[in-house]
C-alpha cells in the first residue's frame, strides 16, 4: 500500500512522458501505410547497411571499452583506499564536460594539422599527414572515450563483490600470481563483464553526436538516419518505424540485463 503511494508519482510520470509517447510513435509507424515502412527499412540496401554499420561500431566500441576498462577496474578494486578515491574522481571527471565538446576535442587532436599528425610528421614516422579523422577508427575512439567511465564503474562495482582473499588462497596453494588471476579472479568477474558489456552495447546503439562529428558517410549510424528521415525527409511513419525497430532491440537487451543484474549495483551508486 505504502509502496504504491511512494511509487505512483514516478510511475505515472514515466507512463505520461515515456511509455505513452513511445506507444504513440509505434502507432504512428503503422497508422498511414501499415507495414510498408518496416518493409522499406528491412529491404532497402541503404538502411540495411546502416543497421550493419551500427552493429559493427557497437561491437568494436564495446570490446574496446571492456579491454581498456578492465585493467582500470581491477586497479580500483585492489589498490589502497586513498588512491581509489582519487582514481574514481578521475574516471568520473570527463562526464562533467559536455558530450558534444568531448567529441569535438578529438576533431582538434586528430585533424590534418592536429597534435597527433604534428607529432607523427615532426618525428618523421610519416611523409604526409595520416588520415585519422572521419573514419571507423575515429568514431570508435571517440565512443570508447565517452563510454569508458560507465564501463569502469560497472566492472568495478561487480569486482568489489569478489573476496580478494580467494586470490591469496589460490597463491598459497601454488598458483603463480598470473595463474591465480586467470583461474580465480577473472572467472569470478565474468558477471561484471557481461553486465558492463550489455550496458555499454545498449548505450552505444543510440549514439548520434560522435559518429556525426568524427565519422564519414560510411560510418552513418541508425540515430543519424532516423534524424534525417524525420527532420529532412519529414517522413514520420518511416522515422517511427526505424525508431520502433531500434526500441525492440534495446528493450530485448535490457530485459536480459535486468533478468541477471540488479539496479542498485549499477554504476556502483555513481559517485560514491
Partner 1 sequence: MRVGSAALKGVTGLVLLFLLFPVLVVVLISFSSVDFLSFPPPGLSLRWYRTIFSDWQWIDAFWVTAQVGALTALLSTLLGVPAAFALSRHVTRGRGMLNALVLAALVTPSVIKALAIYLYYVPLGLLNTIPGLAFAHTVSGIPFVVINVVASLAGYDRDIERAATIHGASPVRAVFGVTLPIIAPAIIVGAVFAFMQSAQELLIAIFVLSTLQKPLAVKLWEGVRVAIDPSIAAATTSVTLLVILGLVTVMLANRRSRPVRTVAHA
**Scanning residues 33 to 62, which ones bind partner 1 (CB under 8 A)?**
none
Provide the mask over 181-200, with x wherever binding to partner 1 is found by CB under 8 A and - wherever it is not.
x---x-------------x-
Provide the mask over 58-97, with x wherever binding to partner 1 is found by CB under 8 A and - wherever it is not.
----------xx-xx-xx--xx-------x--xx-xxxxx
Percentage helix, strand, coil for the chain under 3-state DSSP, each rounded to 5: 80, 0, 20
Q: Judged by CB, which is closer to partner 1: 215, or 243?
A: 243
Cell 515515456, residue located: 18
CA distance linking residue 251 with residue 267, whole number of Å: 19
Q: Does 235 participate in binding partner 1 (rule CB under 8 A)? A: no
| Most distant CA atoms of the chain, gap in Å | 73
For residues 81, 84, 85, 88, the Cα torsion angle rounded to the nearest 10 degrees is -160
CB of 247 to partner 1, least distance (A): 5
Give the chain's end-to-end CA distance (angstroms, integer): 31
CB of 62 to partner 1, least distance (A): 14
Q: Which of 145, 189, 210, 220 binds partner 1 (CB under 8 A)?
A: 145
CA distance linking residue 155 with residue 74, whole number of Å: 8
Cβ neighbours for 137, distance < 8 A, ≥ 6 positions apart: none
Q: Does 268 participate in binding partner 1 (rule CB under 8 A)? A: yes
The span of 39-47, 101-109, 121-129, 130-138 binding partner 1 (CB under 8 A) equals 101-109
Provide the mask over 152-171, with x wherever binding to partner 1 is found by CB under 8 A and - wherever it is not.
------------x--x----
Amino acid at each position: 500500500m505504502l509502496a504504491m503511494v511512494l511509487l505512483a508519482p514516478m510511475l505515472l510520470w514515466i507512463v505520461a512522458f515515456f511509455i505513452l509517447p513511445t506507444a504513440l510513435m509505434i502507432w504512428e509507424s503503422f497508422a498511414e501505410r501499415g507495414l510498408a515502412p518496416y518493409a522499406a527499412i528491412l529491404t532497402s540496401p541503404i538502411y540495411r547497411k546502416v543497421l550493419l554499420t551500427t552493429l559493427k561500431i557497437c561491437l568494436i566500441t564495446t570490446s574496446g571499452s571492456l579491454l581498456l576498462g578492465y585493467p582500470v577496474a581491477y586497479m580500483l578494486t585492489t589498490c589502497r583506499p586513498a588512491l581509489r578515491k582519487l582514481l574514481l574522481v578521475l574516471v568520473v571527471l570527463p562526464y562533467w564536460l559536455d558530450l558534444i565538446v568531448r567529441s569535438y576535442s578529438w576533431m582538434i587532436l586528430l585533424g590534418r594539422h592536429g597534435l597527433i599528425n604534428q607529432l607523427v610528421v615532426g618525428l618523421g614516422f610519416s611523409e604526409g599527414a595520416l588520415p585519422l579523422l572521419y573514419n571507423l577508427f575515429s568514431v570508435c575512439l571517440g565512443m570508447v572515450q565517452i563510454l569508458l567511465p560507465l564501463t569502469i564503474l560497472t566492472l568495478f562495482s561487480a569486482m568489489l563483490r569478489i573476496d580478494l582473499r580467494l586470490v591469496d588462497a589460490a597463491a598459497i596453494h601454488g598458483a603463480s600470481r598470473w595463474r591465480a588471476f586467470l583461474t580465480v579472479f577473472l572467472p569470478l568477474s565474468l558477471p561484471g563483464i557481461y553486465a558492463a558489456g550489455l550496458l555499454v552495447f545498449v548505450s552505444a546503439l543510440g549514439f548520434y553526436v560522435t559518429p556525426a562529428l568524427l565519422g564519414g558517410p560510411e560510418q552513418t549510424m541508425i540515430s543519424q538516419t532516423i534524424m534525417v528521415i524525420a527532420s529532412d525527409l519529414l517522413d514520420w511513419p518511416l522515422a517511427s518505424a526505424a525508431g520502433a525497430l531500434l526500441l525492440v532491440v534495446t528493450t530485448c537487451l535490457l530485459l536480459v540485463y535486468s533478468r541477471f543484474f540488479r539496479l542498485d549495483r549499477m554504476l556502483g551508486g555513481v559517485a560514491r
